[in-house]
Amino acid sequence: MKIFYIDTEKYLIDKDLLRTFGDRKFLSEEKEKQHCFGRFLVKTAAKNFFQLANSDIETVNKKPRFKNSKLHFSISHSKNIVLAAFDENPIGADIEFMKERNFKELFARYNYKGENISKELFYKFWTEYEAGIKLQGSPKTKITTQFQENFMLSVVGNFNEEYKVYELTKDGFNCV
């Protein structure tokens, strides 16, 4: 499995060029930007790491996939980070910016009975839950890590290999 991310605040790209990577319109300019950056990241990683000559994407059951490849990917975004995870098997990924909230109230909504209520525990639960939805019922092996100081990342799936994380910068991909 490979995980790629881009910090949209650091990566400058022409808005019109970025829009060529999107395939739908959004009411929010920020959501459109995240969508387009996600597709840009997926296509760039597919070409540079997986040598996909044709990285055309289609959406089936609300899940994007490559039209002409069995390589699986999952896209997530939160705040200024857009992330894509890739594997040979179905995969689901979610990233969330960890902001302060009423975690006791949030856990009560999910009938959580434990004593340990924390920001990290909530975001671990939430990102695993969201990634599981994106996996759409395929077999799971979980990986959860605190990706960056203020972000929680979860990837679920049946992975074939250990994972590596790469950041896409203006100079190319850098292993983190």
pLDDT in tens, the chain (176 residues): 999 999 998 887 777 777 777 777 788 888 888 999 999 999 999 999 999 999 999 998 888 999 999 999 999 999 999 999 999 999 999 999 999 988 888 878 877 766 778 888 889 888 999 999 998 877 778 888 887 789 999 999 988 667 899 999 988 999 98
Classify domain 2-175 at the CATH topology level.
Ribosomal Protein L22; Chain A (3.90.470)
pTM of the model: 0.89
- In 10 A of CB 122, how many CB atoms? 20
Cβ atoms 166, 46 nearer than 8 A? no
Gyration radius (Cα) of the chain, Å: 16
Q: For tokens 């525990």, name the residue.
A: 121
The DSSP letter of residue 53 is S
pLDDT at position 110: 74
Domain ranges within the chain, ordered by starting residue: 2-175
- Cα distance between residue 95 and residue 39, in whole Å: 16
